């Protein structure tokens, strides 16, 4: 029959462990204060004057023997131009790449900070992109139909960005273009993207084919959405647009097919930046929807 350890023994062990942890902390803090002072070429006497902590106390602190109060430690940290957590944290500020990056980020201008955040956020899709999926591609690829049907099947809200743009502008997209021109439309487009990001952590979004040509807006989409390039052959693009009754690509343009091919070639490098691609060429609607759902599952975009 096993013996039960006395409670007093457990408490004694915990006290001993706590004491060792305190001793290790004091040694760590003292070493970091000394290294920071020497790196800045500050004599202990000068640091004493700057911090208001006596030279004797500083000597004990650097020797790992000073049971310094939080208030005094804060004064020392401020005098050394350090955050107090750099003195007490587990990571060594002289060898930690994380802390070095934090220092460089803090000293950089806002433009550099924005670019750094964009790169880092792009590497953290589970946080920055949440469960947002954006379908990009030329008109006629099937973005809206795929998004709507997949959303219904998976229980995920579906939005068309043009509907959000019209809502923001208070008028149909065609009237926005006529009244404010392309510049006004692109501004509303960027605002609509931001609105979707703020309002939805789980969404399927279909955007206009030209959004990828707006570098700032497209970068934002790539940062905050899992993007899927929905593509098809030029002939299928044109056929689907014509079947929808949209004659804009052909009105007064006898060489519309060649122009479509040119646009596709020009944007292909942009569409290829998407995180995944779905080719609907030669596939039925049902097959394309199933392929899209399989892609979402495979990539984990909605998990």
Q: Stretch 179-207: mean pLDDT, rounded?
A: 93
Pairwise pLDDT comparison (85 vs 187), residue with the higher score: 187
DSSP states along 130-156: TEEEEEE--TTS-HHHHHHHHHHHHT-
The number of beta carbons lying within 10 Å of the beta carbon of residue 270 is 16
- Is the pLDDT at 127 greater than 70, yes or no? no
d(CA 97, CA 39): 18
pLDDT in tens, 75-112: 776 777 766 666 666 666 666 676 677 777 777 787 77
C-alpha separations of 255 from 31, 54, 125, 239, 259 in Å = 75, 85, 41, 15, 6
Instruction: Sheet with 226-231: list strands edge to edge.
Output: 158-160, 202-206, 131-136, 226-231, 276-279
d(CA 208, CA 6): 72
- Is the pLDDT at 213 greater than 50, yes or no? yes
Question: What letter does residue 301 receive in the DSSP assignment?
Answer: T
Only one residue has tokens 């590497």, namely 123
pLDDT of residue 240: 64
C-alpha separations of 159 from 1, 36, 274 in Å = 67, 54, 19
- What residue ranges define each of the domains in the chain, with the CATH number in brackets? 7-95 (1.10.260.40), 125-299 (3.40.50.300)
Only one residue has tokens 């290294």, namely 35
Q: Stretch 131-158: mean pLDDT, rounded?
A: 92
pLDDT of residue 263: 74
CA 36 to chain CA centroid, nearest Å? 33
258, 249 Cβ separation under 8 angstroms: no
Q: Stretch 201-230: mean pLDDT, rounded?
A: 93
SS3 111: helix
219, 134 Cβ separation under 8 angstroms: no
**Which are the contacts of 163, defined by CB distance < 8 A and separation ≥ 6?**
none
Q: Using the Cα atoms of residue 19, residue 25, residue 26 and residue 27 in order, give the sign of their dihedral.
A: positive
Query: pTM of the full predicted structure?
Result: 0.57
| Length of the chain as a residue count | 303
pLDDT of residue 2: 45
pLDDT in tens, 17-64: 767 776 777 788 888 888 888 888 888 888 888 888 888 888 888 888
Only one residue has tokens 């060429």, namely 281
pLDDT in tens, 254-289: 576 677 677 777 788 898 999 999 998 888 889 999
pLDDT of residue 65: 77
User: Three-state secondary structure along 172-191?
Assistant: CHHHHHHHHHHHHHHHHHHH
SS3 41: coil
Closest CA to 144 of 210, 202, 230: 230
Q: With bands split at pLDDT 50, 70 and 90, how would you rate the model's confidence at 230?
A: very high
pLDDT of residue 93: 62
**Which are the contacts of 292, defined by CB distance < 8 A and separation ≥ 6?**
146, 150, 228, 230, 278
pLDDT of residue 108: 79
- Is the pLDDT at 250 greater than 60, yes or no? no
* CA end-to-end span of the chain: 50
pLDDT of residue 254: 55
């Amino acid at each position: 029959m096993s013996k039960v350890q006395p409670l007093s023994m457990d408490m004694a062990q915990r006290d001993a462990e706590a004491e060792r942890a305190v001793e290790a902390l004091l040694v760590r803090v003292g070493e970091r204060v000394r290294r920071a002072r020497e790196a800045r070429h500050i004599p202990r006497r000068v640091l004493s004057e700057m911090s208001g902590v006596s030279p004797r106390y500083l000597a004990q602190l650097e020797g790992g023997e000073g049971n310094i109060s939080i208030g005094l430690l804060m004064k020392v940290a401020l005098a050394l131009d350090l955050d107090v957590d750099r003195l007490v944290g587990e990571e060594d500020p002289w060898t930690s790449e994380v802390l070095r990056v934090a220092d460089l980020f803090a000293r950089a201008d806002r433009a550099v900070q924005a670019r750094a955040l964009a790169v880092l956020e792009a590497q953290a899709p589970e946080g920055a992109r949440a469960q947002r999926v954006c379908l990009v591609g030329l008109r006629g690829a099937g973005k809206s139909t795929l998004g709507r049907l997949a959303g219904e099947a998976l229980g995920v809200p579906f939005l068309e960005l043009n509907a959000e743009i019209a809502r923001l502008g208070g008028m149909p997209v065609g009237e926005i273009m006529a009244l404010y021109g392309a510049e006004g439309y692109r501004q509303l487009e960027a605002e609509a993207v931001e609105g979707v990001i703020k309002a939805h952590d789980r969404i399927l979004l279909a955007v206009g084919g030209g959004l990828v040509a707006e570098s700032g807006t497209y970068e934002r989409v790539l940062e905050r959405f899992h993007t899927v390039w929905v593509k098809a052959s030029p002939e299928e693009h044109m056929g689907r647009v014509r079947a929808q009754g949209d004659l804009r690509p052909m009105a007064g343009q006898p060489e519309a097919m060649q122009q479509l091919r040119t646009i596709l070639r020009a944007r292909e490098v942009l569409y290829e930046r998407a995180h995944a691609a779905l080719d609907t060429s030669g596939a039925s609607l049902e097959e394309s929807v199933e392929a899209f759902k399989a892609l979402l599952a495979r990539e984990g975009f909605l998990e």
